[in-house]
Amino acid sequence: MNMHNSRLLIILVSGTLTLNSLMAAGDDWMLIAAEIKSQSKENTPQSRAKLWVRYKQEKQVWMKGRILVALAFADPKKVTSEVSACIASKDAVLRIAAYEALGLLGDKAAIEQLKKAIDDADPAARLKASSELARLIPKEAWALVKDKLPALDKNTATNRIKTLAVVNNADADKLIQLSIAHKDPTIRLRAINALKNEPRPWIVETLIRHNIKERDKTIKRCIRAVLLTNKPEALSPALCQIFASEKKELYSGASTLLFDRPSTKAGDILAELLRKKSTEIPIAVVIQSMDALLIISPKRYTTLLTSFKNHKNPQVRVRSISALTAEKEEEEDLYKLLKGGLSDPADIVFHHCLHILKMRTQAPPKGGVIPYFTDALKTKKPKRLMPLFLLIQDRLQFREADDALVVMAPHLGSNDDKLRKAAAKIFSAVADDPLYAKVAALQGYLTKWAVLGPFPNTRTNDGFDKLFPPEKEIDLKKSYESSQNRTVFFDEDFDLQDQRAPGQSVIVKWQRF
């Protein structure tokens, strides 16, 4: 029953059997077909009775055929006479439905009727009969149907490929390959789409190889979707065969497929391939393969994956770090393992390590976070420092604030205002007091700057010079002009003691020496 149930596609009406009828029926046909499918699945006396009543009352040919197929599934003993009547019908749609029903019945009488049906005058009906016959007696069917198959075109491609796939011999396989490589993209698409749930190694290999050459994006998506209809255990032999071969051009597609359909057997062969020939394989394939092995079991392949921790490619190092930390549950271990990655020259490695710490740790390590972040804090890149400051702010403890002040001093005295404020905020958070942040900021200023003041400053004290220009020396002897023993000049300084503004006139009495 389960086998037949998988073939009972009521909503997806076969190929071109009833396409014109469906277009004329409007949108209601989907609801009706779904209801028929539901009644056939119930398989109770009441549901069967409803189907029979509906069959006798139905006037639309395409729907009558669908109900006939449903009855062949739900009530095979009583439907035989109706199937025979439909085979004798002049309407090709009813005959096609009858041949599909014979395929569901599957007894000797049904096989004999299908042998006669392969001579049907209608190409679509002849193809349907051939398809059902090949499914029931695949070994004998090829000799009967090979000369009866209609020519390959857009309307026959789907059922033709399904028939050839069931036959499963060398001649049929060649015809499938020719159909997949057909110059018409519509025929290629329908031929490939007909290969769902076909995990045979040569079909998988052919589809992967064709995907490399194919330029049509729709067909490439179809190839991927068709390959993914297979279960992991069904695909495993095909993937094992590819990885064990020397067909390097197929490794990329096979490793991507292994990522989506994990298999330990195929993973073991791929791991051995990486162990021996990683330098001969394109780096993109190495990365895809590492992803697949991480999905299968990081623990199983830890030794292999961690051997790439010093690889020159940062993407490979990222995968190696993932394998290294995958099975670690202690937060202290994660801090130790990721310390080196936080100072890696590649930003992608740094951010990956930081992400792991954020997601998988909640508390600071016993010795505090500063020892683990000291090397990482030596960088001057704001894109690294800003997220690092946020994590330190979340994990820093008050008892290590003084140690933090030492390594944070360069950033507290930075030219970047945002960076300086973010660094100072760490100490405000750890002490829960804004004053502490000001003290920390002051420490940063004193570490790097010579002068402090309430003005926008720089390392060269340009801010001070702009607000207070350099002092000018005054030659009193040269300024003497009056017989009244006094000289008038302007004080360029800001005289706090006398409260005179810059530029205010000052009277100085001249005394003879």
Q: Determine the Cα–Cα distance for residues 152 and 159; give it in Å rounded to an integer.
A: 10
Q: Is the pLDDT higher at 375 or at 12?
A: 375
Whole-angstrom Cα distance, residue 489 to residue 44?
116
**Cα–Cα distance measured from residue 179 to residue 150, given in angstroms and rounded to the nearest whole number:** 13
Measured distance CA(76)–CA(510) in Å, rounded: 132
Among 366, 359, 425, which residue's Cα sits nearest to residue 392?
425
Q: What is the distance between the terminal CA atoms of the chain, rounded to a whole angstrom?
A: 128
Q: How far apart are CA 129 and CA 15, in angstroms?
A: 13
Supply the pLDDT for residue 450. Answer: 38
Helices (H) and strands (E) in the chain, counts: 29, 2
Pick the range with the lowest mean pLDDT from 175-179, 225-229, 296-300, 502-506: 502-506
Query: Under DSSP, is residue 245 helix (H, G, I), strand (E, B) or coil?
Result: coil
Higher pLDDT, 88 or 473: 88
pLDDT classification of 156: cutoffs 50, 70, 90: confident
Instruction: Quick: pLDDT tens for 480-505.
Output: 455 555 544 444 444 444 554 554 44
Has residue 345 got a pLDDT over 70? yes
β-sheet bridge partners, residue 490: 505
> What is the C-alpha to C-alpha distance for residues 392 and 379, in angstroms, rounded to an integer?
15
Q: How far is residue 310's CA from residue 288's CA, in Å, rounded to a whole number?
A: 18
- d(CA 35, CA 31) in angstroms, rounded, equals 6
3-state secondary structure of 332: helix
Which DSSP string do the residues of 126-184 spell out, in sequence order? Answer: HHHHHHHHHHHSHHHHHHHHTTTPPPP-TTTHHHHHHHHHHH-SHHHHHHHHHHHT-SS
415 with 458: CB under 8 angstroms? yes
Q: What is the DSSP letter of 490?
A: E
Residue 157 near residue 125, CB atoms below 8 Å: no
- 204-235 confidence digits (pLDDT tens): 999 999 999 999 999 999 999 999 999 999 99
- Segment 50-71, tens digit of pLDDT: 888 888 888 888 888 888 888 8
d(C-alpha 203, C-alpha 247), whole Å: 15
**Range name among 65-69, 95-99, 229-233, 412-416 with the lowest pLDDT average:** 412-416
Whole-angstrom CA distances from 4 to 61, 136, 451, 496 are 23, 12, 88, 101
8 Å CB contact between 97 and 21: no
Report the predicted TM-score, pTM, of the whole model to 2 decimal places: 0.71
Q: Give the DSSP letter of residue 471.
A: P
- Rounded to an integer, what distance in angstroms lies between the CA atom of residue 184 and that of residue 402? 74
